Amino acid sequence: MIGTGFIYGVAGLMFAAFAILSATDRTNPKRFGNAAFYAVLAISFLLGGRLGDIGNGVLVLALVAIAGSSAMGRGGRATTTLDERRVEAARLGNRIFLPALIIPAAALGGTVLFRAVPNLVDPKQATLVALTCGVLIALVAMHLWFRPRIATPLAEGVRLMDAIGWAAVLPQMLASLGAVFALAGVGDVVGGLAGHAIPEGSLIGAVLAYTLGMALFTMVMGNAFAAFPVMAAAIGIPLLVRHYGGDPAVVAAIGMLSGFCGTLMTPMAANFNLVPAALLELKDKNAVIRAQIPTALPLLAVNIGLLYWLGFR
Amino acid sequence: MLVLCGIAVIVAGFLLRFNPLLVVAVSALVTGLAAGIAPLAVLAAFGKAFNENRYVTVIYIVLPVIGLLERHGLQERARLAIAKLRGATVGRLLIGYLLFRQLTAALGLTSIAGPAQSVRPLVAPMAEAAAEAQGVAPGGDRIPAMAAATDNIGLFFGEDIFIAIGSILLMKGVLEGYGIVIQPLHLSMWAIPTAIAAFLIHGFRLWLLDRRLARTQ
């Protein structure tokens, strides 16, 4: 059955190619740092399932050592100039948008198709398998159209990857930190503290502690998924649902969405806030967060009101 | 109480601007030690979770496609297309994109767009072209940052309407742990009021942006 093995194989081979291209890029003064970082990622994707837990932990330490010692730079492989791109844009016209649409079209069509034909693709991985197929189809299509050298798409990919750098693995690191927090029982402690902080008999106090707690804990963890089990255990279930008789569906749904307001305001949510700033080559790496705060704060207030009025009818 | 040291490490590490990967690793170690877990066991727990969460990092496989398209002028074409469109403003363009992102995410199509797939190659250059036509000097952070923000807001407050998204399944699982059984549809329904509020609030800000640009022109 086609599943994670296929997806991780493609990703692993891509990172292995990134490592080789980085190591041979003499324009990057820190080329071996980049090469080592991508090589470790390639090992993780290709062999992570066979390394054992300690082995994977050592891979993480290697990534941390490379990123923490600022050993990564940016490659300078030649790409096209702005003038060349303008000429291409005029020559190719709107057809240039077609290959970009292959990936979403394949992700959608593949997900539907793989669900209809079971036993071929692991249903849990249908979307990611379809997305991977879309990437491969787009590469083949563009290869027939533009006739680039085999290494060219990879060199262009490493150009973008270098702009993201170590931030690319921060979300995966934070998800793993969440697992350690769960093992250490951080949620129960936070829950106990939050329980003490709420004035007794105050519904609005409990609603505020729950929604603001979701937003704040999400900002620290960078992920509402890590905050939700903690806040549900601390306030959502015992106080809002059991004590005040709130509708559990409303308490859960609006609690999670309050957490999403926190995601908009924190650099820990690297894949949403730091990676776009790096990809767009912004001068201020917090520019995306600054653009989001004026939407996130009023929306958090709306969520507090919605939970208070819809949850306890 | 001692296990909260890990959270303090994260906050302090960020304020002191240490490398975030380093901060996360130290936080995991401190938290584990505070809970009385042996260092090697913390390393194993972290390594196991890292390996299980590899799918989070898979999205970067789209980069070679986007990079190759950029090489052949994708961004410049996106700028040209907007420059030719009469009446295109940065606010109208991003409101349209917000609606598109919320609706597609609500249908479960969360990975058809994103910072690498759509914002860098298409949405940000289009927004910049529209803003330049409205009199914004090129090269600033404000317009591309707003394009990225619009993508995030559309995704976050659209996806929870879809019944099979990760957060809905997580909520269902957590509630079941307390003996509360709820159908995913019932959870996703309650994401709709917030989705409408998100569209109104962010859309209003984009409309204000257009008005401010019109006044400075």
Chain B's closest residue to A148, CA to CA, is B68
Measuring CA to CA, which residue among A186, A246, A191 is closest to residue A213? A191
Which residues, at least 6 apart from A312, have a Cβ–Cβ distance to it below 8 Å? A203, A244, A245, A246, A247
Q: How confident is the model at residue B215 (pLDDT cuts 50, 70, 90)?
A: confident
CA–CA gap between residue A290 and residue B33 (Å, rounded): 36
Question: Above 70 in pLDDT, residue B210?
Answer: yes
Chain A CB contacts of B123 under 8 Å are none
Torsion of CA B63, B65, B66, B69, to 10 degrees: 150
Chain A's closest residue to B173, CA to CA, is A229
Using the Cα atoms of residue B105, residue B109, residue B110 and residue B114 in order, give the sign of their dihedral: negative
CA–CA gap between residue A300 and residue B190 (Å, rounded): 15
CA–CA gap between residue A2 and residue B62 (Å, rounded): 19
**E strand spans, chain B:** none
Its pTM stands at 0.84
Chain B CB contacts of A153 under 8 Å are 64-65, 67-68
From B11's Cα to the closest Cα of chain A, the distance in A is 7
Which residue positions in chain A have pLDDT lower than 70? none
pLDDT digit string, tens, across residues A158-173: 998 998 889 888 888 8
Q: Give me B26's structure tokens.
A: 């130290």
- The residues facing A121 across adjacent strands are A2
CA–CA gap between residue A250 and residue A248 (Å, rounded): 6
Measuring CA to CA, which residue among B99, B98, B97, B92 is closest to residue B133? B92
What pLDDT does A200 receive?
A: 80
pLDDT digit string, tens, across residues B151-164: 999 999 998 887 66
DSSP 8-state assignment for residue A2: B
ipTM above 0.95, yes or no: no
What pLDDT does B11 receive?
A: 85
Question: Above 80 in pLDDT, residue B143?
Answer: yes
Which of A53, A189, A279 lies nearest to residue B48, judging by beta carbons?
A53
Chain B's closest residue to A134, CA to CA, is B62
Contact of B127 with A276, CB cutoff 8 Å = no
Q: Determine the 3-state secondary structure of B166 from DSSP.
A: helix
CA–CA gap between residue A135 and residue A215 (Å, rounded): 35
Chain A CB contacts of B146 under 8 Å are 291
Number of Cβ atoms within 10 Å of the Cβ of A311: 24
From B89's Cα to the closest Cα of chain A, the distance in A is 18
CA–CA gap between residue B106 and residue B191 (Å, rounded): 10
Which of B11, B58, B75 lies nearest to residue A128, judging by beta carbons?
B58
Q: How confident is the model at residue B217 (pLDDT cuts 50, 70, 90)?
A: low
Residue A113 to residues A3, A121, A124, B94, B165: CA-CA distances in angstroms? 15, 10, 14, 32, 19
CA–CA gap between residue B154 and residue B99 (Å, rounded): 7
Best residue in B153, B161, B163, B183 for a mutation probing chain A (most A CBs within 10 Å): B153
What pLDDT does B190 receive?
A: 93
From B215's Cα to the closest Cα of chain A, the distance in A is 20
What pLDDT does A265 receive?
A: 96
What pLDDT does B90 receive?
A: 95
Mean pLDDT, rounded, of chain A: 90
